[in-house]
Amino acid sequence: MKKNNYRQILLGICLIALLIPSCQQEKDPSSDQLILNDKEYFETRGLSVLVFNSWYNGLFGDEKKSGIEIIHHGVRTVTNGDVRIDNTPEQWDEIPTFKEKVVDQENQSIEAFLGYPKYNFDYSIKVSTEGKDVIIQLNIDKAVPKELEGRVGLNLEFLPASYFEKSFIADGQVGTLPLYPSSNMEFDVNGKTTPKAIAAGQQITLAPEDPERRVTVDGNGTEIMLFDGRNKAQNGWLVLKSLIPSEKTGTVLEWTLKANTLENWVRKPIIAYSQAGYHPNQEKKAVIELDRNDQAAPFARLIQHLPNGEQKVAKETGLEEWGQYLRYDYVTFDFSSVQAPGVYSISYKGQETKSFVISEKHLSTAWHATNDIYFPVQMDHMFINEAYRVWHGQSHMDDALQAPTDITHFDLYAMGETTDTEYQPGQHIPGLNLGGWYDAGDYDIRTQTQYATVLTLVQAYEDFGIERDQTQIDQGISYVDLHHPDGKNDILQQIEHGTLALIAQYRAVGHAIPGIIVPSIAQYTHLGDGLTMTDNLIYDPSLDSLEVKGNKSGTFDDRWAFTSKSTALDYGSIATLAAASRVLKGHNDALAEECLETARQVWTTEHAREEPLIFRHGNTTGGRLENEELKAAIELYLTTKEEGYLNRIVELWPTIEASFNRSAAHIIKVLPDLGETEKAKLKKLAEGYKAWSDSLYQQNPYGVLITTGGWAGNGTIIQMGINNYALYKAFPDLFDKEDVLKSLNYLYGTHPESNLSFVSAVGTQSKKVAYGMNRADYSFIAGGVVPGTLVIPPDFPENKDDWPFLWGENEYVVNMGAIYIYLVHAGMDVLED
C-alpha cells in the first residue's frame, strides 16, 4: 500500500473514531491498550505480543520462534511461551504438536490448542489482555499424566543478549542476570543433569532498572522459577517456568505479564545503505525505515568528509515516499547525482551513519576475505593455520562408516532399504577422508552443497579469469596456511579441494552419496576445533571402547556415510565434475581427466536405465531431477562440444520454461550454440523474467525478492543477481546493470531491520556475531555470508546482531561464499561496461 493512500485511510479512520470514541479506544495501536489487530497479534506502542504465529519445525524441532513471543521496543526478546517438559529445552527435546488457533476479535483473545500425543496430554493456552497487561491461561481437561508430574509446566524464554548486565527481582530476592552461564546444576528424575533455578518467587521482574526491557511476570499465587538454559547448551535462553499442579484440571495456571513501555516511544530510523560503498556511475539510493508513529523528515543530507577533517554537504534533497512494507514505513534518499570519489556519510533527523566510499574500486577487494579466510577455514581433512592462530586441526581422517539402512537422521539425511554399496552397515569405507568443506556452521560434508560450490567457483574462474594467490594449500601434507602465497591460484586450489571430495565418492562406492555426518546429536552439537570431534582413528567394534591398535580404536565416534543412490544427485555431481575438468587442466591434469571420464560414464549409465533412481529426503539427495540433468547436459556439452549433449538440452526445454529462475544462468552459457527457435524462446522467457523482477519494486522498497521461509533469503537474492547478470550480458536491451547491483547493495546493508553488511568483515560495519564454527565465542569468520533478514510471521523483519545462535538468520553456508564471489565479479564487470 502506498503511503499517501495509507494516510488517507488512516485519516478516515480517525474521523470515524471522533464520532465513535469507543471504537478508537479499541482499535488504536498507539493507545495505552494492548489491542488485537487485524494481523492477529496484540499490540500497543512499543510492544507486540504474538501468539503461535508460527510453530515448531517438525524436522529441526525448536527454532526459538514459536508460542507466545514479545517484540519489545523493536526487539524480539521473548519466545516459546508454551507448555514444555524440560525446564530448559534444547533444540531436539520433545516439542508439542500444534492443532489449531482460535482468534476471537470480539472478545480480544487468542487460544491455541496443542498436545503431546506420546503422553495423551492435550492443553490450550489462552492469551487475552487487560489494558497493557497480558493474561496467559493454561487449560487442561485431564490431569497431568503421572510420568510428567513435577516436570511439565508453562515456560517463557527470554533472550540472554537482551538482558546481559541487567538484574532481576524475585519476591524481594535480588540478583544479576549472568553474562556467562555459571549457575548450579543438578540431576533430574531421569538422572540427567539440568540447571537448578537461579531464583524463584510468585512474582519475577527482569531488568527492573531498564525501562526498555523491564518485564514482570506474576504467577497469581503460583511459584515461578528462573533458569539459565545456557548451562545445558550455548544456544539456550533464560527461562521462566511454573510447574502444572498435579491432579488439577480447568485453568491450572494463570500468569499476568507486564512489559513496560516508554511513553510516546518511537523506534529510531534505520538508514539503510551500502556499507561497501558505491561506484561513481551507479544508482545510489538509501532506504530509510520508519516507525509507523514517526514523522518523516522532509530531506536528508549527504556529507562528504575531507582530508583536513572538514565536512561539507555534497547533496541535500527531499525524500521520496515509498509506502508501507511489513510493519514499517519507508522513504528513499537518492544521491545518484553525486559522483565525486571520496568518503561520505548520510545525515537524517540528527542521525548520521558511519562512513562509506564512492570509488571506482569499491568492489575490488570485497571478495578477498571470502577467498582468503572463509574458504580456507571451512576446509575439511586439513590443518588450517593463520599466523599465530590454528583454526582447526586435520579433522575427520577416520571417515567414514557405512550408515545403517532404514534410518532417518536428525539433519536431513536418510538411508533406504539397502546401502547401495558393497559395504555392510558400520563397516569402514576407505578413501572418503579427502577434500570437501564443512557444509555450514556444522561439520558435515553435504554433497549437494559441495557440487554447487565447486560449480560456481568454476564459473567464476571461467567468466572472470580470477587470479589471486594468498593461501598456501598443500594436499600432500594436508596443510593450509593463510596469508602465505604458494605460487598457485587460490580459486583453482579450492576447486581442486572440492572436486577431490566428489571424485572420492565414485572411487569408493561408484556413485555420488548424499553426504557424511556424525551419527549422534551429542557430536552434532560440537563447537570448537573439528579435530576434537573424533579421535581420527578408524572405529573397530572388536576393540574395547578406549583401546587403540595402530590406526584403529574402539571408540565409536566416526562419521557415517549416507550412501543411498539417487539419479538426481549423480547428475548434479557429474555436472560439476565435467565443469571442473575444464579448469583443472594444467593444474592437476590427472584429476581433470578422471573427472571427465567419470562424468561421461555416469551419464551413459543413467541414460541406459529404464527408470531413474528416485530416492528423496530433505535437501541431501539432489535437486529436481530434470534440473540436475539439464545442468549435467550443459556442462558436458561445454566441455566436449558433442552434439548429443546439446540435443538433450533442447529436449529438456519444458524444464527450462517451467523453472527459468533455476536454469537461466546455466542455459545462457550455451546460447550461441542454440537454434534460432530456441534463441527466440529464450528471449521471450527473459522478457517474462524481467517483468517479474521489475514487479518486486512494488512489493518492497529494496527491489529484490525477500523470502518468508524459515531460512532467510540472501541466497535467493544473490542468485537473482547472478541470473540478472547472465541475462544482462545476453540481452542488454532488456536488462540493466542495476538489476545486478541491487543484490549487492542489499547484501551490504540496504535491507530491513539494520544497515549491517551481511558479509562479515566486508563494509564499514558488518556481521561480527554469526553462526559459524566459532559462534560460542560470539565471533565471526571473515568473508562468511549469513542468510540475512528473517521475517518472523506475520510482519517482523529480524537479524540478530548480538545473538549468533539463530541459524536461519546467521549461519554461514559454504555455497553462499561461492555465489557471493561470483556476484562481486559480476558487479565489477557491469560497472566497467
Q: Say if residue 5 is in the same domain as residue 119.
A: no
Range(s) of the domain holding residue 172: 38-259
483 falls within a domain: no
Last residue of a domain, one of 310, 337, 358: 358
The overall average pLDDT reported for the chain is 94
Q: Which residues contact 76 (CB under 8 A, 6 or more apart)?
A: 69, 70, 159, 792, 796, 798
Q: Say if residue 581 is in the same domain as residue 447.
A: yes
On the CB side of 744, how many CA atoms lie within 13 Å of its CA? Answer: 33
Name beta bridge partners: 72: 47, 75
Q: Which residues contact 658 (CB under 8 A, 6 or more apart)?
A: none
Name beta bridge partners: 330: 289, 323
Q: Say if residue 307 is in the same domain as residue 398.
A: no
478 falls within a domain: no
Alpha helices in 472-623 (DSSP H): 490-509, 521-524, 567-584, 589-607
382 falls within a domain: no
Q: Are 787 and 771 in contact (CB under 8 A)?
A: no
CA–CA separation, 468 and 456 (whole Å): 17
State the CATH number of the domain containing residue 354. 2.60.40.10
Which residue in the block uniquely carries the three cell numbers 552459457? 669
pLDDT of residue 437: 98
pLDDT of residue 191: 84
End-to-end CA distance of the chain: 36
Q: Say if residue 698 is in the same domain as residue 817.
A: yes
Over residues 16-43, mean pLDDT:
62
Cα angle for residues 11, 12, 14 (degrees, 5° grid): 65
CB atoms within 10 A of CB 320: 12
CA–CA separation, 288 and 750 (whole Å): 9
Sheet holding 552-553, edge to edge: 538-539, 552-553, 548-549
- Max Cα–Cα distance, the chain, nearest Å: 88
799 falls within a domain: yes
Q: Say if residue 90 is in the same domain as residue 180.
A: yes
Q: Say if residue 181 is in the same domain as residue 326.
A: no
The phi and psi torsions of 190 (rounded to 5 degrees) equal -95, 5
Give the single-character DSSP code of 297: -
Which residue in the block uniquely carries the three cell numbers 571408540? 555
The DSSP secondary structure of 354-409, one letter per residue, reads PPEEE-TTTTTTTTHHIIIIIHHHHBTTSEEEETTEEEE-S--TT--EEPPSS-B-
**Reported confidence tier of residue 57, pLDDT bands at 50, 70, 90:** confident
Q: Are 129 and 33 in contact (CB under 8 A)?
A: yes
State the CATH number of the domain containing residue 462. 1.50.10.10
Over residues 684-695, mean pLDDT:
95
Q: Say if residue 237 is in the same domain as residue 310.
A: no
133 falls within a domain: yes
- Joined grid coordinates for residue 529: 576445533
**Reported confidence tier of residue 192, pLDDT bands at 50, 70, 90:** confident
Tell me whether the omega of the peptide bond preceding residue 430 falls within 30 degrees of 0, making it cis. Answer: no
pLDDT of residue 823: 98
- Joined grid coordinates for residue 40: 492477529
State the CATH number of the domain containing residue 213. 2.70.98
Over residues 729-743, mean pLDDT:
96
Q: Say if residue 549 is in the same domain as residue 401.
A: yes
CA–CA separation, 188 and 186 (whole Å): 7
633 falls within a domain: no
509 falls within a domain: yes
**Beta pairing, strands 383-386 & 479-482:** parallel
Q: Is the pLDDT of residue 26 over 70?
A: no
What is the length of the chain?
A: 833
CB atoms within 10 A of CB 298: 9
Q: Say if residue 230 is in the same domain as residue 159.
A: yes
Q: Domains in the chain: how many in total?
A: 5
- pLDDT tens for 364-418 read 999 999 999 999 999 999 999 999 999 999 999 999 999 999 999 999 999 999 9
Cα angle for residues 728, 733, 737 (degrees, 5° grid): 40
Q: Say if residue 612 is in the same domain as residue 543.
A: yes
On the CB side of 526, how many CA atoms lie within 13 Å of its CA? Answer: 20
**Reported confidence tier of residue 9, pLDDT bands at 50, 70, 90:** very low
pLDDT of residue 31: 60
- pLDDT tens for 506-560 read 999 999 999 999 999 999 999 999 999 999 999 999 999 999 999 999 999 999 9
Cα angle for residues 248, 241, 179 (degrees, 5° grid): 175
CA–CA separation, 221 and 598 (whole Å): 71
- Joined grid coordinates for residue 30: 498507539
Q: Say if residue 44 is in the same domain as residue 84.
A: yes
Q: Is the pLDDT of residue 30 over 90?
A: no
264 falls within a domain: no
**Reported confidence tier of residue 19, pLDDT bands at 50, 70, 90:** very low
The secondary structure element, H or E, covering residue 415 is: none
Q: Say if residue 411 is in the same domain as residue 560.
A: yes
The secondary structure element, H or E, covering residue 189 is: none
Helices and strands in the chain, H and E counts: 19, 42
Higher pLDDT, 77 or 2: 77
